[in-house]
Amino acid sequence: MNVVLVEPEIPPNTGNIARLCAATNVRLHLIEPLGFELSDRTLKRAGMDYWNHLDWRTWASWDSFQWERTKTGRLWFVESGGPVRYDQADFGPEDYLVFGRETAGLPGSLVESNRDRWLRIPMMNPNSRSLNLGNCVALVLFEAMRQNGFAGERLEP
């Protein structure tokens, strides 16, 4: 499983997502430009000491990610307004969960050209615009992992 953050802007969000990916043994892809320096102390603090245990990579652009990524998994685009609710998707173990910037989300052209893999997280309160990016990643990632039997789960002794 892979998590992709397209142009993330807020260091603590990315740090928390990095910690989540390390704990779940999921690869993290960061698509530039980033809204922070990778040496940012809030990024490292949020990720705690998990960065050393994380399989991650930065990409210069969406195009370079698309060109070089492993083509075995499907791309799932998580963005408000999607025609498919995230729990209705059929996730595979090699899939990529793609999330956009905190302030702007994913580009409209990207989700529109992938409507069959454009996922939404349901919102019930019309006065709420969105959830925290880290919460969104956790919701969708754990649904994808549940569908795949939580492969690799480590049970505490």
Assess if residue 152 is contained within a domain: no
Domain that holds residue 11: 2-147
Residues written for the chain: 157
Mean pLDDT of 100-109: 95
| Structural domain total, the chain | 1
Least confident window among 38-42, 121-125, 130-134: 38-42
* Domain harbouring 73, CATH code: 3.40.1280.10
Assess if residue 155 is contained within a domain: no
* 25 burial via Cβ count (<10 Å: 0-12, 13-18, 19+): middle
Mean pLDDT of 38-56: 77
Residue closest to 105 by CA, chosen among 116, 121, 92, 124: 121
* pLDDT interval class at 38 (50, 70, 90): confident
What's the rounded Cα separation, in Å, for the pair 138 and 123? 16
Question: For residue 105, what is the DSSP state?
Answer: B
What's the rounded Cα separation, in Å, for the pair 5 and 9? 10
Decide which of 157 and 93 is more confident: 93
| Per-residue pLDDT, 46 | 63
